[in-house]
């Protein structure tokens, strides 16, 4: 029985409404408890900022990222954020590390932990390639992990929608989650992945998918209904149609509106819209491109059924990776960049393209501003999850840098001063003076995630929760983040302590221990007659169309490290 | 009697996963669905001579020793060597590869795979221009034009055409072979070429010229093409371009005729650009015909664990990658390694003479189920269970889809994974002692 007492912590825990109050935290056997014995090991926080471990709810960290590594060996040597990037030799405690946007698996675990993050959610698992995702998960140390499974261009999904078979659709999704050991439903450019199978795309919510006679809107609504029927812990997680195109903010708002009518089966949002920065563009071409963030924020401020994340841009090199195949091809042609593509039979598409965000490019400058505008114009931080859609907008190791943009208007002004007048004309950021405090930052980096993913034991410091804790070298009240952003960035770049399940994994910004993390996956129960009827249909798919057998499709238990099965009971 | 269905064949990069194996008294008595190569692997496993015991070379002869003695001797070689080459790892599981990478990291070795003499240039071309690809089922279900360029699946991947390409039937390809155009580009009329609708014979080493000509025509610069390119008349090239542009879905499968001939990675680089250009007109992808059943897996595991797919040098403590300098043959030809550990590959038979000569001079550790020319050079030899038959584990198909290989029968031999684990433990023990 291991006990730890963290004394004099300045606790910032929005789930409990605690805003930087000095208190003690007791830990026993990896959980937060009310009290500990006098034998407990004492950590003196000395009044420093203490939060629950960070939770990145949308990051590309296993699976597709390997294509990014493969085609960008140059990334391995990049070291723009010393201590959190570049080549690091092995030590007695740590494996060798490389990379910046696409670090090796070990570096991903160590670097998130250094930032005080303890849980990540992989943004996209193709069902057929799920085994690969879990193989990489196994080699990412320290962090707890989960992943979202792709359903948005799946043949069986589209056929059940076309044939009006909502129960079988639910049974299929439940099976797909089981097969891929996924945590929730990811929908990327609904229908667009199938269209990309023929080198085409869908143009909006009501543009039918070639050969399947369903629309993106129908795919979204049907999967949202399945999500509620199966009582999944997360909502559908949507990458909207038309990503990256000027004028796409309208599609984004239209998509959000569709979900107003969804009846919830549990206490969470009906919809999560991801990396909205890429989907909040106004204008009709790259020539008259401008921010659409005010319109999106305006809608979100009046809505209470959704959450979203930013997809904040970080200036410098990035690697885009998405199941949105047509977007990546367009990126590669526009930027004359190398292009990787991997369409997945019967299921979806994907692509990887490296790029560089330059403050001198007016488009990139406006993209940078849009992410911040979304975060600052949306009044309720509980609707917002902070992300860079790592590494699409930039690597997660830049989170501390991005926090300073959110917390300091002066810091923003510094960056903006380098922009062209044309860029300034196309954004509203210079007129925004809001600065987030530590409490709001904690909401966007931990508390929203706890609620969004229905993980009450994560992202907070309540008794009974996992003892995943970050202590940062900041004394709240003695620091002014709006001017002292250099100190803020430094503190968030290397936690004084990161505890994972009550074990000190980071001390003074260095790795202390590398325990293995858990894998969360969802097992949604479906009545067996419905399941059997569905199985007959997918048996045909395997016999006629797939190139692997059904038996070899399911991810075996051996690939799951410390699995946690989240069981739900579907309503049929 | 046990009948095991959906077994994965651990022979070639097609990784067929529909094999039915009958086992009686721990012997495989019947194999269904496998091709001649796969069949002979399952059967041959019983008929061929195996390495029966661990061996150490004493006074020039390999003599049987205990497993512990061999582990001790191998660990000593690794601890005493300043620069070790770790090579092979493609006919084994991803779990073994992971262990081998950790051992290489801890001993500051260079680790490389058989891609060094195979599809290594394919990786280089992907690093230049990307890898526009798809899973094999996309070809099965959609492709109406299939090109085999510098590869010969009839002999190297016998079930490929039936399961994934020319003859396969899918949702949008119900007619199978009859609905498809099959084109073969090669330097000689192979048995695959004999099955094609169109065979284009090109001059050896001129692939880059032909790819470039195709790109020029597709991009509207057909006027600059001379009357013949790569020995192919212009009219034929124009016809080929038209076929590609008018297809619904094109796949180019390419083999070592492209990667190991003149211009090497530049061929794949240009082909990747060709695919990108073709996508302005139609849908097109390319897939490398990987040979060893898990050479793709080595690349995958190495990439997520070290950031690089091959030729990884741990001398600095962190992974360093510079193919041409850190590839297996680069090192051997420079006579650099002080020792080598070789598993699931046979450089003794396949490397250039100069490289083999150096291998003969240095201590070599071999892990393999079967004796081969490398055994003749080896100083410590570990017999291993055959992965996919006597040991389970993960392998990656040529299109980067991973599958779980089954253990079908028991074996007295240790698995590659166990041997690497024991060896790593012993190396740590010796290092602590030192």
Report domain extents, chain A.
51-511
In this complex, do A341 and B18 lie within 8 Å of one another by their Cβ atoms?
no
> In degrees, to the nearest 5, what angle opens at C-alpha B275 toward C-alphas B154 and A69?
95
Of A129, A211, A353, the CB nearest to B401: A129
In the predicted structure, residue B197 carries a pLDDT above the cut 70: yes
User: In total, how many domains does chain B have?
Assistant: 3
CB atoms within 10 A of CB A23: 15
| H/E run at residue B160 | helix B160-163
| Domain identity same for B134 and B282 | yes
pLDDT interval class at B234 (50, 70, 90): very high
Closest chain A residue to B98 measured between Cα atoms? A139
In the predicted structure, residue B309 carries a pLDDT above the cut 70: yes
- How far A315 CA sits from the closest chain B CA (Å)? 23
| CB B206 within 8 Å of CB B231 | yes
Mean pLDDT of B217-224: 97
In the predicted structure, residue A440 carries a pLDDT above the cut 80: yes
Distances (CA, A) of B211 to A35, A269, B229, B244: 72, 52, 10, 12
**DSSP helix/strand/coil, A544:** helix
Of B129, B309, B403, the CB nearest to A70: B309
| Domain identity same for B276 and B225 | yes
The residues, ordered by sequence, that sit 6+ positions from A314 with a Cβ below 8 Å of its Cβ are A357, A368, A388, A393, A394, A395, A398, A401, A402
Backbone angles phi, psi at A141, to 5 degrees: -75, 165
Q: What pLDDT was estimated at residue B43?
A: 83
Mean pLDDT of B131-159: 98
Higher pLDDT, B43 or A418: A418
Distances (CA, A) of B107 to B103, B332, B424: 6, 18, 9
Distances (CA, A) of A459 to A47, A117, A455, B208: 20, 10, 8, 55
Contacts of A197 in chain B (CB under 8 A): 138, 142, 249, 283
Residue B50 pairs in a beta bridge with: none
Of B264, B288, B312, the residue that ends a domain is B288
Range of the structural domain that residue B363 is part of? 51-117+293-433
Of B17, B138, B169, the CB nearest to A343: B138
Across chain A, what does the average pLDDT equal? Answer: 98
The residues, ordered by sequence, that sit 6+ positions from B320 with a Cβ below 8 Å of its Cβ are A87, B312, B313, B314, B326
| Domain identity same for B13 and B62 | no
Q: Which of 394-413 (B) contact A at CB < 8 A? A: 394, 396, 400-404
| CB B346 within 8 Å of CB B377 | no
**Domain covering A51-511 assigned CATH 1.10.150.120 in the classification:** no
Contacts of B303 in chain A (CB under 8 A): 66, 69-70
**DSSP helix/strand/coil, B199:** strand
pLDDT interval class at A400 (50, 70, 90): very high
| CB A15 within 8 Å of CB A459 | yes
pLDDT interval class at A1 (50, 70, 90): low
Q: What pLDDT was estimated at residue B49?
A: 86
Of B269, B288, B307, the residue that ends a domain is B288
In the predicted structure, residue B110 carries a pLDDT above the cut 80: yes
| Domain identity same for B132 and B249 | yes
- Report d(CA B76, CA B55) in Å as an integer: 15
| H/E run at residue A529 | helix A528-544
Of B288, B309, B325, the residue that ends a domain is B288
pLDDT interval class at B433 (50, 70, 90): confident
| CB A357 within 8 Å of CB A319 | no
In the predicted structure, residue B434 carries a pLDDT above the cut 70: no
| Domain identity same for B198 and B283 | yes
* pLDDT tens for each residue of B14-66: 999 999 999 999 999 999 999 999 999 988 766 678 999 999 999 999 999 99
Mean pLDDT of A425-453: 98
In this complex, do B319 and A87 lie within 8 Å of one another by their Cβ atoms?
yes
| Domain identity same for B283 and B199 | yes
Q: What pLDDT was estimated at residue A247?
A: 98
- Report d(CA A247, CA B178) in Å as an integer: 45
- Report d(CA A549, CA A69) in Å as an integer: 29
In this complex, do A199 and B316 lie within 8 Å of one another by their Cβ atoms?
no
| Domain identity same for B131 and B257 | yes
| H/E run at residue A18 | strand A18-28
Contacts of B129 in chain A (CB under 8 A): 338-339
Burial of A164 (0-12, 13-18, 19+ CB in 10 A): exposed
Residue A21 pairs in a beta bridge with: A11
| CB A141 within 8 Å of CB A116 | no
Strands (E) located in A267-412: 271-273, 281-282, 290-291, 306-309, 316-322, 340-343, 351-357, 384-385
| Domain identity same for B418 and B282 | no
| Domain identity same for B316 and B204 | no
| Domain identity same for B347 and B382 | yes
Across chain B, what does the average pLDDT equal? Answer: 96
Interface with chain A: mutation pick from B93, B95, B99, B130, highest number of A CBs within 10 Å: B130
Percentage of chain B modeled with pLDDT above 90: 97
- Report d(CA B422, CA B70) in Å as an integer: 11
């Amino acid at each position: 029985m291991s006990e730890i007492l963290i004394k004099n912590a300045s606790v910032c825990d929005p789930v409990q409404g605690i805003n930087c109050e000095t208190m003690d935290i007791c830990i026993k056997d990896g959980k937060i408890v009310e009290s500990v014995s006098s034998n407990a090991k004492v950590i003196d926080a000395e009044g420093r900022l203490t939060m629950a471990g960070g939770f990145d709810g949308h990051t590309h960290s296993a699976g597709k990222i390997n294509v990014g590594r493969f085609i960008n060996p140059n990334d391995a040597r990049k070291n723009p954020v010393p201590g959190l990037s570049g080549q690091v030799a092995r030590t007695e405690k740590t494996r060798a590390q490389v990379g910046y946007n696409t670090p090796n698996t070990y570096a991903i675990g160590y670097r998130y932990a250094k930032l005080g993050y303890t849980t990540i959610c992989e943004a996209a698992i193709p069902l057929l390639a799920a085994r690969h995702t879990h193989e990489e998960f196994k080699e990412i140390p320290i962090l707890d992990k989960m992943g979202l499974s792709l359903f948005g261009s799946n043949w069986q999904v589209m056929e059940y929608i076309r044939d009006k078979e909502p129960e079988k659709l639910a049974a299929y999704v439940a099976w797909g989650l089981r097969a891929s050991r996924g945590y929730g439903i990811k929908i990327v450019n609904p229908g667009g992945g199938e269209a990309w199978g023929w080198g085409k795309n869908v143009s909006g919510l009501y543009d039918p998918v070639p050969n399947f006679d369903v629309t993106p809107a129908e795919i979204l609504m049907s999967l949202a209904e399945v999500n509620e029927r199966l009582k999944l812990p997360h909502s559908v997680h949507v990458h909207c149609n038309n990503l990256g195109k000027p004028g796409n903010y309208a599609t984004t708002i239209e998509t959000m509106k569709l979900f107003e009518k969804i009846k919830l089966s549990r206490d969470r949002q009906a919809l999560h819209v991801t990396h909205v920065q890429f989907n909040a563009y106004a204008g009709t071409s790259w020539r008259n491109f401008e921010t659409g963030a005010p319109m999106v924020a305006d809608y979100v401020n009046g809505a209470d059924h959704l959450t979203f994340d930013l997809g904040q841009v970080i200036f410098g090199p990035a690697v885009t990776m998405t199941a949105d195949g047509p977007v990546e091809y367009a990126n590669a042609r526009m930027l004359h960049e190398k292009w990787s593509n991997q369409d997945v039979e019967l299921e979806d598409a994907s692509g990887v393209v490296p790029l560089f965000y330059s403050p001198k490019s007016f488009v990139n400058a406006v993209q940078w501003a849009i992410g911040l505008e979304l975060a600052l114009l949306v009044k309720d931080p509980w609707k917002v999850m902070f992300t860079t859609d790592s590494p699409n907008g930039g690597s997660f190791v830049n989170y501390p840098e991005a926090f300073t943009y959110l917390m300091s208007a002066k810091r923003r002004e510094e960056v903006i001063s380098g922009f062209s007048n044309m860029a300034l004309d196309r954004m509203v950021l210079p007129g925004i003076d809001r600065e987030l405090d530590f409490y709001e930052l904690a909401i966007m980096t931990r508390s929203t995630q706890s609620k969004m993913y229905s993980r009450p034991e994560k992202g907070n410091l309540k008794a009974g929760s996992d003892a995943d804790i970050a202590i940062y070298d900041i004394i709240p009240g003695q620091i002014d983040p709006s001017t002292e952003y250099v100190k803020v960035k430094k503190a968030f770049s290397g936690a004084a302590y990161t505890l994972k399940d009550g074990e000190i994994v980071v001390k003074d910004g260095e790795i202390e221990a590398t325990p293995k993390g858990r894998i969360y996956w969802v097992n949604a129960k479906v009545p067996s007659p419905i399941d059997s009827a569905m199985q007959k249909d997918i048996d045909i798919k395997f016999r006629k169309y797939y190139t692997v057998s059904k038996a070899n499709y399911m991810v075996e238990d051996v690939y799951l490290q410390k699995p946690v099965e989240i069981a739900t009971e579907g309503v049929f | 009697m046990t009948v095991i269905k959906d077994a994965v064949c651990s022979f070639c990069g097609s990784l067929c996963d529909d094999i039915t194996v009958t086992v009686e008294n721990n012997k495989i008595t019947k194999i269904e669905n496998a091709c001649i190569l796969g069949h002979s692997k399952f059967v041959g496993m019983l008929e061929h001579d195996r390495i029966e015991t661990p061996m150490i070379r004493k006074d020039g002869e390999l003599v049987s020793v205990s497993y512990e003695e061999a582990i001790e001797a191998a660990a000593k070689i690794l601890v005493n060597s300043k620069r070790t080459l770790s090579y092979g790892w493609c006919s084994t599981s991803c779990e073994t590869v992971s262990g081998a990478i950790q051992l290489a990291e801890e001993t500051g070795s260079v680790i490389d795979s058989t891609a060094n003499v195979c599809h290594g240039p394919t990786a280089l071309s992907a690093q230049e221009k990307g890898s526009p690809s798809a899973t094999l089922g996309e070809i099965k279900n959609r492709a109406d034009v299939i090109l085999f360029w510098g590869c010969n699946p009839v002999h190297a991947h016998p079930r490929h055409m039936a399961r994934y390409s020319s003859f396969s039937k899918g949702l949008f390809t119900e007619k199978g072979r009859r609905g498809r155009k099959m084109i073969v580009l090669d330097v000689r009329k192979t048995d695959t070429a004999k099955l094609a609708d169109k065979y284009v014979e090109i001059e050896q080493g001129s692939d880059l010229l032909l790819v470039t000509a195709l790109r020029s025509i597709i991009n509207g610069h057909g006027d600059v093409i001379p009357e013949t390119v790569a020995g192919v008349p212009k009219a034929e090239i124009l016809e080929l371009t038209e076929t590609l542009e008018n297809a619904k879905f094109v796949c180019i499968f390419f083999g070592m005729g492209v990667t190991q001939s003149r211009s090497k990675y530049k061929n794949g680089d240009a082909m990747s650009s060709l695919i990108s250009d073709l996508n302005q007109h139609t849908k097109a992808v390319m897939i490398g015909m990987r040979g060893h059943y898990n050479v793709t897996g080595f690349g995958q595991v190495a990439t997520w664990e070290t950031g690089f797919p091959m030729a990884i040098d741990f001398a600095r403590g962190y992974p360093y990658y510079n193919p041409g300098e850190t590839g297996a043959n680069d090192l051997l030809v420079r006579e650099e390694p002080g020792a080598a550990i070789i598993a699931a590959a046979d450089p003794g038979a396949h490397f250039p003479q100069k490289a083999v000569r150096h291998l003969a001079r240095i201590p070599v550790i071999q892990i393999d189920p079967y004796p081969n020319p490398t055994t003749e050079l080896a100083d410590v030899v570990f017999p291993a269970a055959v992965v996919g038959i006597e040991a389970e584990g993960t392998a990656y198909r040529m299109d980067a889809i991973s599958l779980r290989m089954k253990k079908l029968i028991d074996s007295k031999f240790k698995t590659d994974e166990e041997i690497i684990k024991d060896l790593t433990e012993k190396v740590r023990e010796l290092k602590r002692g030192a």
